[in-house]
Amino acid sequence: MNNKSIWITGASSGIGKALALKFAKEGWRVAISARRDNLLNEISQSNENIIPFPLDVTDSEKCKSVFENIKKKIGEIDISVFCTGIHDPKSEKSLNLEKVKKIMEVNFFGTVNSINSVYDYYKIRKSGHISIVSSVAGYRGLPAAGAYCASKSALSSFAESLYFDLKRFNVRVSLVSPGFIKTPMTDKNDFPMPMIKSPEFAANQMFKGLTKNKGFEIHFPKSFTSIMKILKVMPNGLYFKIIEKGMKKIVD
């Protein structure tokens, strides 16, 4: 084990779980958080470097108290990765106000609650790293994903603003923008997902981006995210035509 430590939220499954296992394998002390404490306990039992700290990120005060507990048990936290996210593609095919509010509450405000719990710590420490897991879905509005795209777009913009705020204090802020990754969340999608990758692939890419590179955005797989970046800057009329054509192919 080295002397480095990381806190990962949304770590009970998917990308968060794979990332926790990757960092633990590399000798880091890993604090993991999520609502499902039974799954956290299962993960921690598989590796002595992983310690569970159950948390519902929508509770801002709980975020603060859990982080204080993490510091007491583990010590200094070098990187905080906020990976919590939900999506309900079935409900997004029509406007469901309660679902929209829930997705924003968890994906955006839950992440902001988590950031708020570590903000002063890193600012005073004048070192450290906050990483926000967004998605290429935050680049542009996609069909049947209005709330999800909006929540990820909000996170991406928030991360950019936070970058300026914390750079003055020698604190790194990074943004993670994955393409399609096979997780319990994407398993709900009922359409073909191009260039989909495993959670382990995502974890390896994130580990390199978080520990070896210094750039702001960590995005993968490059073959897919490069296409999405082109769509991001494309004029609206052309973008809409391309996406509508793609939708017809899926429906047909």
The residue ranges of every structural domain in the chain are 5-225
User: Catalytic site residue 148?
Assistant: yes
CATH architecture for the domain at 5-225: 3-Layer(aba) Sandwich (3.40)
**Mean pLDDT score of the chain, rounded to an integer?**
93
**Model pLDDT for residues 119-138, shown as the tens digit of each residue:** 999 999 999 999 999 999 99
Kindly name the residue from 121, 148, 163, 239 that is annotated as catalytic.
148
CA distance 64 to 52: 16
Residue pair 202/18 in contact (Cβ under 8 Å)? The answer is yes
pTM above 0.85, yes or no: yes
Count CB-CB contacts under 10 A for residue 145. 20
User: Is the separation of the CB atoms in 206 and 75 below 8 Å?
Assistant: no
In this predicted structure, the answer to whether residue 94 has a pLDDT above a threshold of 70 is yes
